[in-house]
């Protein structure tokens, strides 16, 4: 169950150009957080309501002492405020929120596909499910300077392939090129993806064609993060027809066919 709590910033470190990992102290509210769920962070300074809205983030890593981290890209006032936090500063958190990834019990070989800041929930999935299945990560970025995460996957014993749009690191092209190659050469039992909407649509289409069950975590702008404001709705196919569901509440994870049909 979600709760609001305050904990302390432990450290911040750059992970790529304009991207930072914020490490925060353990709090029991996040002990049971599932991969794919998210937290909503209040970025305004104490005594201020500017910016008014919290910002949603997926967990990136959990450490042996219970500390946890997120990765953010500085793109506006909210993330600029996060970047100003120093060790010992308080961070106000609401979470865990949303519906996370589902581990299919019989699945033994899993592909993880992440694009940009969609990588963090997949690393957290890999860490949480380590030893339960064979996993391989496919990571896509615009350029080498924006790439991160592959060394953290390697530390878990998980191979990660990287694609960059300009070819400055790894494969030249899209991460979906790597995905098609993997599905053509090997058998996989499940596919988990997070990233920009066009990437998710392409992943869903490829997975459907290959007959691989696929779950997608959507990155969506949110107002409240708890389902009240209806600013993050997504058309989802149900037995009763298409319904608008809230990414923050019924998501952020959906089965690919729920959103994109069967290809």
Task: Provide the residue ranges of all domains of the chain, joining segments of one domain with +.
Answer: 3-96, 109-260
Q: Is the pLDDT of residue 225 over 90?
A: no
Confidence band for 261, pLDDT divided at 50, 70 and 90: confident
Q: Is the pLDDT of residue 263 over 70?
A: no
pLDDT tens across 70-101, in order? 999 999 999 999 999 999 999 999 999 999 99
Confidence band for 49, pLDDT divided at 50, 70 and 90: confident
Tell me the CATH architecture of domain 109-260: 3-Layer(aba) Sandwich (3.40)
Q: Are 138 and 119 in contact (CB under 8 A)?
A: no
Whole-number pLDDT of residue 47: 73
pLDDT tens across 11-21, in order? 999 999 999 99
3-96: CATH number: 2.40.30.10
Whole-number pLDDT of residue 139: 99
pLDDT tens across 104-158, in order? 888 899 999 999 999 999 999 999 999 999 999 999 999 999 999 999 999 999 9
Lowest mean pLDDT among 139-148, 163-172, 218-227: 218-227
Outline where the chain has alpha helix (H).
Answer: 77-83, 120-128, 150-155, 175-185, 197-210, 256-260
What does the pLDDT average to over 34-43? 95
Q: List the structure tokens of 213.
A: 């069950």
Q: Are 256 and 215 in contact (CB under 8 A)?
A: yes
Whole-number pLDDT of residue 241: 87
Query: What is the overall mean pLDDT for the chain?
Result: 94
Q: How far is residue 193's CA from residue 188's CA, in Å, rounded to a whole number?
A: 14
pLDDT tens across 231-259, in order? 889 999 988 889 999 999 999 999 999 99
- To the nearest whole percent, how much of the chain has pLDDT over 70? 100
β partners of residue 93:
5, 41
Nearest to 221 by CA among 21, 85, 38, 70: 38
């Amino acid at each position: 169950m979600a709760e609001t709590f305050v904990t302390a910033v432990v450290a911040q470190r750059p992970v790529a150009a304009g991207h930072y990992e914020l490490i925060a102290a353990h709090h029991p509210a996040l002990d049971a957080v599932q991969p794919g769920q998210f937290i909503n962070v209040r970025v305004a300074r104490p005594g201020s309501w500017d910016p008014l809205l919290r910002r949603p983030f997926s967990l990136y890593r959990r450490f042996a002492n219970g500390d946890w981290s997120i990765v953010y890209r500085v793109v506006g006032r909210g993330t600029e405020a996060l970047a100003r936090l120093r060790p010992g500063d308080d961070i106000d958190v609401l979470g865990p929120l949303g519906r996370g990834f589902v581990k299919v019990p019989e699945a033994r070989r899993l592909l993880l596909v992440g694009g940009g800041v969609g990588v963090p929930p997949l690393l957290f999935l890999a860490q949480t499910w380590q030893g339960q299945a064979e996993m391989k990560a496919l990571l896509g970025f615009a350029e080498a300077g924006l790439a991160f995460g592959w060394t953290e996957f390697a530390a878990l014993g998980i191979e990660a392939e990287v694609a960059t749009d300009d070819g400055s690191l790894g494969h030249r092209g899209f991460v979906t090129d790597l995905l098609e190659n993997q599905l053509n050469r090997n058998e996989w039992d499940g596919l988990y993806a997070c990233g920009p909407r066009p990437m998710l649509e392409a992943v869903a289409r490829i997975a459907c064609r290959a007959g691989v069950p696929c779950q997608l975590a959507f990155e969506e702008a949110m107002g409240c993060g708890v389902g009240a404001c209806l600013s993050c709705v997504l058309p989802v196919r149900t037995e009763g027809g298409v319904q608008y569901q809230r990414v923050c509440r019924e998501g952020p994870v959906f089965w690919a066919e729920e959103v994109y049909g069967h290809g």
